[in-house]
Structure 1
Amino acid sequence: MPADTAAFSARIREASWSRHQGLDPSADAAEPTPGVFDLLFDGTLSVDDYTRWHAQQFFVYEAIEAAAERFRDDPVAGPFVFPELARVPAIEADLRFLMGPKWRSGVEPLAATKAYVDRIDEAAAAWPGGYIAHAYTRYLGDLSGGQAFGKAARRNYGFEGEGASFYDFADIKSPKAFKDEYRSRLDAADLTAAEQDRLIEEVLLAYDHNGAVLAALGEGLGRNPFEPKVIAAICHHMNTDHAADTLVICRGAGDQRGSEAARMTGFDGDGADFAALVDGVEVPVRIRWASPLSERAEVRPEIVRLFTESKAALADG
């Protein structure tokens, strides 16, 4: 064990402090515009954009908690696998509350979220430090500043339980005592000096990926006229009742002639998003509407148009 291991948790905090301070990307912009955090705290973040932010977190915690299962009995990472930290069940309950029972059909990772998840999967594939770095970054953040997010969500939207249960760590009576114990385990972890340095670098990467997700969400704030629950319901309908039609649309209008299967993953006022399975790999497909849409009643006729035109184009070869 390295001689300076007792200071490891302090080294992590010191190294990541500037990333933590600048996490909301609007703070570093030449002409700052309100970001997700700003709008949440001033009470102007719409519940729809809050839901979209919440949905992106689902994919991140799903990856972290899958890694936790792999490392539960690991001598180095195992001490950092705490059942009371698990967030996926709470996020799922929140999304059911916010979007309805078909919520899973209406959430898809943004490109920035996919990159974040891929990094978690890569770092924690076989390296205990990879899991520790990503778990530390998210969970200790949730027990710190994340508690203010929960209070703001409850205040802004009137949530009394579900909707913001992600921020409720019911089995942790004292967040401060828990964080102190977590940091003491970091200081005692059997890591070489090189492994400690590598773990710190991974923590910084986790902050950077989280910032990229927030930036991507910030670009879309207030721009989607459709509620997440509407998107979930229509995607679920297309994927369960009209899967063949969805495939025709992707092959035709989406120009993925070789696709083997397809699913609708979302839509906004400008177009629809699909995932087409091509050679065993899902390929994102974006198809623009003929003109901007703003009402739910406009979506069905536009999908029918896409199907009809796609079917005709495929028939013509």
Structure 2
Amino acid sequence: MPADTAEPTPFSARIREASWSRHQGLDPSAGDEAERAPGVFDRLFDGSLSVDDYTRWHAQQYFVYEAIEAAAARFGDDPVAGPLVYDELARLAAIEADLKFLMGPKWRSGIVPLPATQAYVDRITEVTSDWPGGYIAHAYTRYLGDLSGGQAFGKAAKRNYGFNGEGASFYTFEGIASPKKFKDEYRSRLDAVELTEADRLRVIDEVLLAYDHNGAMLAALGAQIGTNPFSPKVVAAICHHMNTDHAADTLVICQGEGGQAEAESARMTGFDGTGADFLASVGGEAVPVRITWAAPLSERAEVRPEIVRIFTESKAALENA
């Protein structure tokens, strides 16, 4: 009987096969469209995703890549993960440039991770704290996706919003002339990575978890599509103004109307048509605070009088406590 000379399945192929159903689950062209409401990807491709909601999606990705690229800095010289750390893949600077273009110079004041995004970031941070395979799993999931379907996202953004570089520079890899050749090289290095079989199985499980976290983030974003009448640029400008010029007033608001009398500091993180969001520091912990407007708002000029009202009532409540 002839000996079995079949070559073992390459590690990269094993990951791809194991994650294919997750990948298909995020693909707007897969499955029965009638089974779900259009999500971020669907709306981007059909042209119905507003530039404001595109910006909010971009902002959530900032936190994910911040975590991944912090891990890349730690593992650059690691004998296991180091071969898969490429300067050409780094996306954070491009996202920052896009957000500055989309939201203005005060963009950082107007973004905060959604709970689903924070859970994703927390997982990346936890699993990459001391395990090279954690970096490999999350970097593979994001960067190879950016070089594949992400290229179609970039084309759709440029087509829908008229971007010419800025606004969609996240999708342009300046140091990669051929995404296909680069992905082939990346997979070759992945196949050669020095991991035990137990760690390879763990990497595969982590890739699946990365897909699940990404799906949860996209679902959370999809649920908010079209719900905020205020543009991210307006939100960033007002939050920046409150946090830099009226930090003491912001604290009073959180102590009073926000019910966090013991707060030591606070910052405004966002707002929509129904209320404003803050983070109060209480006993060293960041506590989210939501304060509802007296009536729904839809115009920028309505925001200031409502904040003044909330501050005035908060100050009176604290004085009379």
State the TM-score bracket (shorter-chain normalisation): over 0.9
**Partners of 1:6 and 1:188 within 8 A in 2:** no
Partner of 2:71: 67
Structure-to-structure mapping, 1:243-262, within 5 angstroms: 243-262=247-266
Q: Which residue of 2 aligns with 1:34?
A: 38
Deviations 1:181-220 (A, max 9, x none): 1111111000010000000000000000000000000000
- 1:94 alignment counterpart: 98
Offset of residue 115 of structure 1? 0.2
Task: Give 1:150's match in structure 2, choosing from 150, 154, 158.
Answer: 154
Structure 1 residues 197-256: Cα deviation after superposition (integer angstroms, max 9, x where no partner): 000000000000000000000000001000000000000000000000000000111101
Measure the CA separation in 2 of the matches of 1:152 and 1:167.
11
Residue aligning to 1:226: 230
Change (3 A) 1:89 1:169: same
Structure 1 moving runs of 4+ over 2 Å: 3-6, 24-31
SS in 2 for 1:170: coil
Separation in 1 of the partners of 2:20 and 2:9?
Answer: 19
- The correspondence for 2:22, drawn from 19, 24, 31, is 19
Identity across the alignment (%):
78
Q: Which amino acid aligns with 1:92?
A: E
Q: CA offset at residue 296 of structure 1?
A: 0.3
- Counterpart position of 1:118: 122
- Kindly indicate whether the alpha-carbon contact (under 8 Å) linking 1:267 and 1:273 is maintained by their aligned counterparts in 2: yes
Compute the displacement of 1:316 (Å): 1.1
Amino acid at match of 1:18: S
- 1:141 is displaced (CA, Å) by 0.1
Question: Residue 273 of structure 1 corresponds to which residue in structure 2?
Answer: 277
1:10 to 3, 6, 13: 13
1:268 and 1:58, CA in 2 relative to 1: closer, same or farther beyond 3 A? same
Unaligned runs of 5+ in 1: none
Could you tell me how far apart the structure 2 residues matched to 1:6 and 1:217 are?
37
Q: How far apart, in 1, do the equivalents of 2:192 and 2:63 lie?
A: 30
Unaligned runs of 5+ in 2: 1-5
Q: Which amino acid aligns with 1:250?
A: C
Which among 59, 62, 75 is matched to residue 58 of structure 1?
62
Q: 1:26-55: CA deviations, max 9, x gaps?
A: 968974211000000001100000000000
Give SS of 1:266's match. strand
Aligned residues: 315
Question: Which residue of the partner structure matches residue 49 of structure 1?
Answer: 53
- Which of 136, 139, 144 matches 1:135? 139
| AA matched with 2:14 | R
Superposition TM-score, scaled by structure 2 size: 0.96
Tell whether the 8 Å contact from 1:19 to 1:207 is kept in structure 2 after alignment: yes
Q: Does 1:76 align with 2:80?
A: yes
TM-score of the aligned structures, taking structure 1 as reference length: 0.97
